């Protein structure tokens, strides 16, 4: 098994590296550190006015040099931390559009680790939700999103399950990933009717049982939003990871229909396993 770790300068990326090292040690996996230089955005054409193109050329060269230097720095740091932890690793530096580079590369790996607040377009953008959203929407492979400074949580995994195709896909992907090894797994469903919620959770447990994983059904009945109810249950169980289903990345779509997965992703204090 090998795990792709997407590197950049945010605190959540550093946390993703720590989490990846932890997984690599427990699963015997190889880590692949990936740093990206967002060359297309740095050198993209701009209206420069008269006399501006020479300043733009100088600016582009400076930003590219800085981006390469930062990428090298993150890869060196990743290598040092991985070696200190005694895990097998290799590194990769690519130049191109971050979302496309990561989407292409992650197809070659079993699992991808990503910081929640990553900014791969750090030379040109204050924030970069675009890249993360695009990766989560298009990956078609399991991804673990890690928040900055995750809580020191236990070995429990909470699987949020609502019977949907997206939730089922995430659950099966989690079962196949090996991440359930040595962990207690709880499957939670939220409903106004506790019996219905329990039945749904039990069906999720059956799916896991078919993959050889024992799980405990959790019915959640709460006056809070589904997101808050699931996060509260995760906290109560001292969960160290949440498995969630669908992801609705567009802000408009989130506004129109909401997204429990997105809410969990934004507010969780533990890593989230996704497979969209």
Partner 1 sequence: MISSLTVVPFVLYLLLIAALPLFVGRFWDSNRNKLAVAAAASLPVVVYLLAAHPAGAELLVGAAREYLAFIALLGALFVISGGIYLRGALAGTPVVNTGFLAVGVLLASVIGTTGASALLIRPLLRANEDRPRSRHLVIFFIFTVSNGAGMLTPLGDPPLFLGFLRGVPFTWTLQLAAPWAVVNCALLVIFALVDRSIARHEAPRPLDQGAEPLRIEGELNLVWLLGVVATVFVLGTYGRSWFAGASSRAAVQIVAMVVFAALSAVTTPRKVHEANRFTWAPILEVAVVFIGIFITMVPALEFLQERGASLGITQPWQFFWASGALSSVLDNAPTYLTFASLATGVANAGGGMLSAADLGGLAAHPVGHGLLAAVSCGSVFMGAITYIGNGPNFMVKAIAEQHHVRMPSFFGYTLWSVTILVPLFGAVALLFF
Residue 176: name the closest of 144, 142, 145, 202 by CA. Answer: 142
Cα–Cα distance list, 107 to 64, 118, 167, 184, 272 (Å): 27, 20, 21, 29, 19
- Tell me the closest approach of the beta carbon of residue 70 to partner 1, in angstroms: 11
- Helix 52-85, helix 11-27: angle, nearest 10: 30
The minimum distance between CB 267 and partner 1, in angstroms, equals 24
Q: Which is nearer to partner 1, 123 or 218 (CB)?
A: 123
Smallest separation, CB 95 to partner 1 (Å): 16
Helices 165-177 and 194-210 meet at what angle, rounded to 10? 40
Per the CB < 8 A criterion, the answer to whether 208 and 225 are in contact is: no
**Phi/psi at 273 (nearest 5 deg)?**
-95, 125
Question: CB-wise, 124 or 206, nearer to partner 1?
Answer: 124
Tokens linked to 205: 């447990």
CB 120 to partner 1: min, Å? 14
Question: Token digits for 224?
Answer: 């809070």
Q: Please, which residues have CB within 8 angstroms of residue 138's CB and are 6 or more apart in sequence?
A: 99, 103
Residues that bind partner 1 (CB under 8 A): 43-59, 62-63, 66, 124-126
Give the span between the Cα atoms of 3 and 30, in whole angstroms: 6
* Smallest gap from residue 65 Cβ to partner 1 (A): 10
Look-up of token digits 């959790």: 218
Nearest approach, Cβ of 52 to partner 1 (angstroms)?
3
Cα radius of gyration rounded to whole Å, the chain: 20
């Amino acid at each position: 098994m090998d795990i792709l770790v997407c590197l950049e300068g945010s605190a959540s990326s550093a946390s993703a590296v720590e989490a990846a090292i932890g997984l690599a040690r427990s699963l015997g996996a190889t880590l692949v550190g990936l740093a990206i230089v967002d060359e297309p955005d740095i050198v993209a054409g701009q209206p420069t006015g008269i006399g501006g193109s020479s300043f733009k050329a100088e600016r582009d060269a400076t930003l590219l040099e800085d981006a390469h230097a930062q990428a090298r720095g993150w890869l060196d740091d990743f290598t040092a931390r991985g070696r200190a932890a005694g895990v097998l690793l290799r590194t990769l530096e690519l130049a191109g559009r971050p979302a496309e580079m990561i989407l292409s590369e992650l197809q070659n790996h079993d699992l991808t680790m990503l910081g929640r607040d990553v900014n791969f377009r750090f030379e040109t953008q204050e924030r970069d939700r675009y890249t993360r959203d695009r990766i989560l929407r298009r990956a078609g492979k399991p991804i673990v999103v890690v928040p900055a400074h995750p809580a020191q949580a236990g070995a429990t995994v909470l699987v949020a399950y609502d019977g949907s195709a997206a939730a089922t896909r995430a659950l099966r992907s989690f079962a196949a990933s090996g991440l359930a090894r040595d962990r207690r797994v709880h499957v939670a469903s939220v409903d106004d009717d506790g019996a219905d919620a329990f039945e749904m959770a039990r069906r999720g447990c059956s799916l896991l049982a078919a993959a050889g994983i024992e799980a405990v059904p959790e019915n959640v009945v709460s006056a809070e939003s589904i997101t808050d109810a699931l996060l509260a249950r995760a906290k109560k169980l001292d969960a160290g990871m949440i498995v969630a289903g669908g992801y609705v990345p567009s802000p408009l779509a989130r506004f129109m229909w909401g997204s429990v997965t997105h809410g969990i992703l934004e507010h969780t204090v533990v890593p989230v396993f996704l497979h969209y």
